[in-house]
Copies of this chain bind each other. A is one copy, B any other.
Amino acid sequence: MTSTNASAQQIAEDYTRAWMSGDVDQALGFLAEDVVCDAPAGRIEGLAAYRGFLEGFLPKLTGSSITKVLGDDTSAAVVYTTDTTFARDFRAMDYLTVGDGRITRVVTVFDRLPAAQARPRAEG
């Protein structure tokens, strides 16, 4: 799939295509055991927790598309859109840091407001 010499840009693209295809195991194969992910809802630490994050998110996905992957030897930015039941062409970006051929850090940025507004108003 990927060699330890692959650029962060290539690893980022391969990782993104893996999760977009719904293949959790393949996607996790690009991540370091002690990966740290800062997502809008908080920090996710370690591969097992990240598996839970992906397994929770991917079933909601009805479509996805990579807009652009930019990178250098040690980090990459992935610009992409997702379709879910409540939002189409929803914009998001990941900033990935790579060490020893694996993704060690993920910063995921997206807007949680559409999902919060789509939720039934249980409170109030």
Contact = CB atoms under 8 A, between A and B. Distances in A.
A124 interface: yes
A79 interface: yes
Number of copies: 2
A40 B113 contact: yes
A76 interface: yes
Nearest to A91: B109
21 contacts: A38-B91, A67-B95, A67-B107, A68-B75, A70-B70, A70-B71, A70-B75, A77-B77, A77-B95, A79-B107, A93-B95, A93-B109, A109-B110, A109-B111, A111-B111, A111-B112, A112-B112, A113-B113, A113-B116, A116-B116, A121-B124
A76 B72 CA distance: 12
Interface in A85-124: 91-93, 95, 107, 109-113, 116, 121, 124
A53 to B, nearest CB: 16
A79 B107 CA distance: 9
| Prevailing SS type, chain A contact patch | strand
Interface of A: 38, 40, 67-68, 70-72, 75-77, 79, 91-93, 95, 107, 109-113, 116, 121, 124
